Amino acid sequence: MSQVKKLSHVNYKKSFSLTILGIIGLLGIFAPLLMPHDPFAVDITRKFLAPSWEYPLGTDHLGRCVFSRILLGIRYSLGSALLIQMIAIILAIFLGAFVALKRGMIDFLFIRICDILLAFPTLVLAFGLLGLLGPSLKNVLIALIFTQLIYYSRMIRSLFIGMNEKEFIQAARISGTTGVGLIVRHYFPNVLPIIVTIVALDVGKVILEIAGFSFIGLGVQAPIPEWGMMVNEGKQYIRQHPELMLYPGLAIVLVVLLFNRLASSLKNFE
């Protein structure tokens, strides 16, 4: 339990990053209420407008409100990254726990398959998967969940196996706790802080990857206002209107920076 307590202490200490991220999250959730304009409404007569009270960050090449698009983009950039991490870690916990408890042949096969999959650099594996599945938001989610899952399930397996010999686990086993009970009551609470740190550490990386895929045209497709896609759309106007690339890029940097700060504060405390 002490580690769980430590964790909340860290959150209190490093509440700055968490507060701002919370506000950004709320902005994303309530984006439809807060957006001054429809982020998909095209109006060519109003293209490349300078920032004004009506359009806080001006308009893009199709006359769409950049501010509204960035607000809604929180859902696609941050939202997708959180979703990927959630699904990947939940699947990894099931898979890792299963393999760690079964051991034997299943464990052996699992490790060999992981070794082979880890022979591909993550990005290359994701590119390969996307190349086969075709570009779309759904396929980006699938490709990234898959690549994250390999690392996480392997990590959780070794965390669990590392605990097999601990006295409290053996005590629990002797008292007759088995299967799900053992995992939920004894293994899980002890690895939770490590899992939280690693998931937080990777959110930033995943946001960058989603944006990267959109940028090269293999991810989210226009007109969805994902931030990487917005940078991609703005790149043709880099000479005349560099601000179209600047704003969504800054949004990515801000969110990733906050996540990296949060994660490093969690890590330092361990």
Partner 1 sequence: MYESTWMFCLKRILTLPFVLLGVSILTFVFIRFVPVEPAEVILRLAKVAPTEEAIQALREELGTDKPLLIQYLLWLIGVLQFDFGTSFVSKLPVAHELFAKLPATIELAVAAFVLILVLSIPLGILSALYKNAIIDKIIRLFSILSVSIPTFWLGFLLLYLFSLKFGIFPTNGKGTLAHLVLPALTLALPTIGLFVQFIRSTIIEELQKHYVQYAQLRGLKNSVILMRHVLRNAAITLTTMLGLTLGNLLGGAVIVEQVFSWPGLGRYLIESIINRDYPVVQCYVLIIAVIYVLSNLCADVLHRVLDPHLMTKGRRD
8 A C-beta contact, residue 37 and residue 65: yes
Tokens describing residue 205: 């990386």
Rule CB under 8 A: is residue 260 a binding residue for partner 1? yes
CB closer to partner 1 out of 86 and 257: 257
Residue 90, φ and ψ in degrees, nearest 5? -65, -45
Tokens describing residue 102: 């079964």
Query: Quick one: three-class SS letters along 144-208?
Result: HHHHHHHHHHHHHHHHHHHHCCCHHHHHHHHCCCCHHHHHHHHHHHHHHHHHHHHHHHHHHHHHH
Rule CB under 8 A: is residue 253 a binding residue for partner 1? yes
CB closer to partner 1 out of 7 and 161: 161
CB closer to partner 1 out of 38 and 79: 79
CB of 120 to partner 1, least distance (A): 5
Rounded to 10 deg, the angle between the 80-102 and 137-163 helix axes is 40
Distance, CA of 3 to chain centre: 24
CB closer to partner 1 out of 120 and 188: 120
Segment interacting with partner 1 (CB under 8 A) among 46-54, 96-104, 118-126, 170-178 = 118-126
Segment interacting with partner 1 (CB under 8 A) among 54-62, 86-94, 177-185, 206-214 = 206-214
Which residues here bind partner 1, judged by CB under 8 A? 112-113, 115-117, 119-125, 127-128, 130-132, 134-135, 204, 208, 211-212, 215-218, 228, 231, 235, 238-239, 242, 245, 249, 252-253, 256-257, 260-261, 264
